[in-house]
Amino acid sequence: MIEKGTKRGQMIDPMVFVDDDGAAYLYWGQGQCNIVKLNNDMISVDTSKIISFKPPGYNEGPFVIKRKGIYYLMWSEYDTRDPRYSIAYAT
């Protein structure tokens, strides 16, 4: 799916979100959040279209839902041993 060396950090915690129009998006990554639209075969992507970002404290576990037309992206922040360990979200 994503070739080794394409992105930095650990390529863990994949999550697929399928939007109302049928378009599917892959979210993944530890250390930074990566997002890319899946091709129709649901196993290939255009790696030149990967979006990566790292909010302050971002750790891993991106997860997306859509409720009443609003998209919510959630993730864990900081290490599990850190007293600041928490869940964050963006709309």
pLDDT tens, position by position, 14-36: 999 999 999 999 999 998 999 99
- Cα 1 to its chain centre, rounded Å, is 14
Domain spans, the chain: 15-90
Q: Does the model's pTM come out above 0.75? A: yes
Cβ–Cβ under 8 Å, residues 13 and 26 = no
Does the pLDDT value for residue 6 go beyond 70?
Answer: no
Does the pLDDT value for residue 59 go beyond 70?
Answer: yes
Dihedral-angle region of residue 20 (phi above 0 means left; psi in -120 to 50 means alpha; beta otherwise): alpha
Across 1-5, 11-15, 29-33, 36-40, which has the greatest mean pLDDT?
A: 36-40
Residue 13 confidence (pLDDT): 82
Residue 69 confidence (pLDDT): 97
What's the chain's average pLDDT? 90
CA angle 43, 38, 86 (to 5 degrees): 105
Residue 7 confidence (pLDDT): 56
